[in-house]
């Protein structure tokens, strides 16, 4: 049986100066983290009872996250992270399958510069619309966000997750009362198996949290990234609307620009990446996701019966359609399943997702009336967004069950 023990953490406080995160100081920090003595053993004896709920609670109560497990020196992953055979067999078959070059980079990369020219804008709208219909995913370049902002944001999130564990514990919580929380696995208590990642969550809109609640190590970076992502999100919403033949400001008018949340993921090295995942196959809530990822890779999108990599493109930002956008578009746009493989690299993977949700949470949502006709009747029934998001956060991340739930 998996047994986890978490004695009291002891460690000195550290300054948040950027120099602290040099390679030398990072090594010192990791050594100090090893003062968190963690015993994690797996006994596969068939006749021993496995109390998963107890093990999950012990892990969550420890507040150390997956990064803390690695810092403790484990060489095999705790049982709560081992996924069932059907998941692992799918991962194994897709890991070993090499797509032909013509299919290895199917997710489009779209240059969205020069939109003040009407002909240029029309061409970009066509490309974005095609990507939303075929994949639900695309990457954008020449998007107007300074590369320095992208690099500093990734660096700030990496810095937070690599703080000494006893410092990060201040933010470890599952509720978002302060607008900021650090946790491991948003669906930890609902899933069949945990995934190998930690997350810093933050409410971005309509208002940021109090600045002192945002970790100092990434505070300025997240404030800047939020502003840039909001501007980019507004532009993308216009392009998505125009691709459906709608007024460019329709999504903004429905307050989808105003309620934004961030999930900044840290995927540390996994000693047994074939036994777990970084994040299970799922679709995103909301209307649109703006994702900043580093160059490690691991994000995959469902394509037919297989999976394709969303290969990192320097300076690019990944965009994907959310479930609400698929419903509003009456199935014109596709909210596609995606997942992240467990990270077998010794360098951690960083990704920062911003989800665009409606501020008017008690409003009714359904297919846009302009997109309904006798030839194309409504595919979905109307629903209240609060009902939808409650269902999302009280279930396991598992494919497209929510859009299917609202189908007529």
What is the arithmetic mean of pLDDT over 168-172?
A: 96
Name 293's bridge partners: 351
- pLDDT tens digits for range 207-246: 999 999 999 999 999 999 999 999 999 999 999 999 999 9
pLDDT, position 396: 56
Residue 162 vs residues 65, 221, 272, 343: alpha-carbon distances, Å: 11, 16, 21, 16
Cα–Cα distance measured from residue 300 to residue 306, given in angstroms and rounded to the nearest whole number = 10
What is the arithmetic mean of pLDDT over 99-112?
A: 74
Residue 389 has pLDDT above 90, yes or no: no
pLDDT, position 406: 86
Predicted model pTM:
0.85
Lowest mean pLDDT among 271-280, 334-343, 344-353, 378-387: 378-387
Cα–Cα distance measured from residue 315 to residue 9, given in angstroms and rounded to the nearest whole number = 39
pLDDT, position 401: 59
- pLDDT tens digits for range 275-312: 999 999 999 988 999 999 999 999 999 998 889 999 99
What is the arithmetic mean of pLDDT over 33-48?
A: 37
What is the arithmetic mean of pLDDT over 17-33?
A: 35
Residue 110 vs residues 121, 239, 352: alpha-carbon distances, Å: 12, 12, 20
pLDDT, position 307: 93
Residue 3 has pLDDT above 70, yes or no: no
Averaged pLDDT score across all residues of the chain: 86
Per cent of the chain over pLDDT 90 is: 71
Domains delineated in the chain: 53-406 (2.60.120.330)
Cβ atoms within 10 Å, residue 6: 17
What is the arithmetic mean of pLDDT over 396-408?
A: 70
What is the arithmetic mean of pLDDT over 262-277?
A: 97
Band of pLDDT at residue 408, cut at 50, 70 and 90: confident
């Amino acid at each position: 049986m998996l047994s986890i023990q978490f004695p009291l953490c002891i460690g000195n406080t550290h300054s948040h100066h950027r120099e602290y995160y040099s390679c030398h100081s990072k090594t010192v920090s990791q050594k100090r983290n090893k003062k968190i003595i963690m015993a994690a053993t797996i006994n596969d004896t068939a006749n021993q009872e496995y109390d998963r709920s107890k093990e999950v609670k012990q892990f969550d109560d420890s507040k150390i996250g997956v990064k803390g497990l690695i810092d403790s020196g484990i060489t095999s992953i705790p049982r709560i992270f081992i996924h069932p055979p059907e998941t692992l067999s799918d991962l194994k078959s897709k890991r070993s399958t090499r797509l032909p070059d013509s299919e290895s980079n199917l997710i489009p990369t779209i240059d969205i510069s020069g939109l003040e020219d009407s002909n240029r804008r029309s061409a970009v709208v066509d490309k974005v619309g095609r990507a939303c219909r075929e994949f639900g995913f695309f990457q954008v370049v020449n998007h107007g966000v300074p590369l320095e902002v992208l690099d500093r944001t990734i660096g700030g999130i990496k810095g937070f997750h690599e703080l000494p564990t006893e410092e990060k514990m201040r933010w470890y919580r599952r509720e978002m009362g302060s607008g900021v929380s650090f946790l491991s696995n948003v669906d930890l208590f609902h899933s069949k198996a945990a995934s190998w990642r930690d997350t810093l969550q933050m409410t971005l809109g309509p208002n940021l949290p109090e600045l002192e609640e945002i970790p100092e190590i990434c505070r300025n970076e997240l404030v800047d990234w939020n502003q840039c992502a909001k501007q980019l999100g507004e532009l993308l919403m216009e392009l998505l609307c125009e691709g459906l033949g709608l007024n460019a400001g329709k999504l903004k008018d429905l307050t989808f620009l105003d309620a934004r949340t961030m999930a900044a993921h840290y995927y540390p090295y996994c000693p047994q990446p074939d036994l777990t995942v970084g994040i299970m196959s799922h679709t995103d809530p909301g209307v649109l996701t703006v994702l900043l990822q580093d160059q490690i890779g691991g994000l995959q999108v469902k394509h037919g019966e297989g999976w394709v990599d969303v290969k990192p493109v320097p300076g690019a930002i990944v965009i994907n359609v959310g479930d609400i956008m698929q419903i509003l578009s009456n199935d014109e746009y596709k909210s596609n399943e995606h997942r992240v493989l467990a990270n077998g690299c010794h360098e951690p993977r960083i990704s920062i997702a911003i989800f665009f949700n409606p501020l008017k949470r008690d409003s009714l949502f359904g297919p846009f009336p302009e997109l309904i006709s006798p030839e194309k009747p409504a595919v979905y029934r109307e629903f209240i967004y609060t009902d939808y998001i409650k269902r999302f956060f009280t279930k396991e991340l598992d494919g497209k069950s929510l859009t299917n739930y609202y189908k007529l």
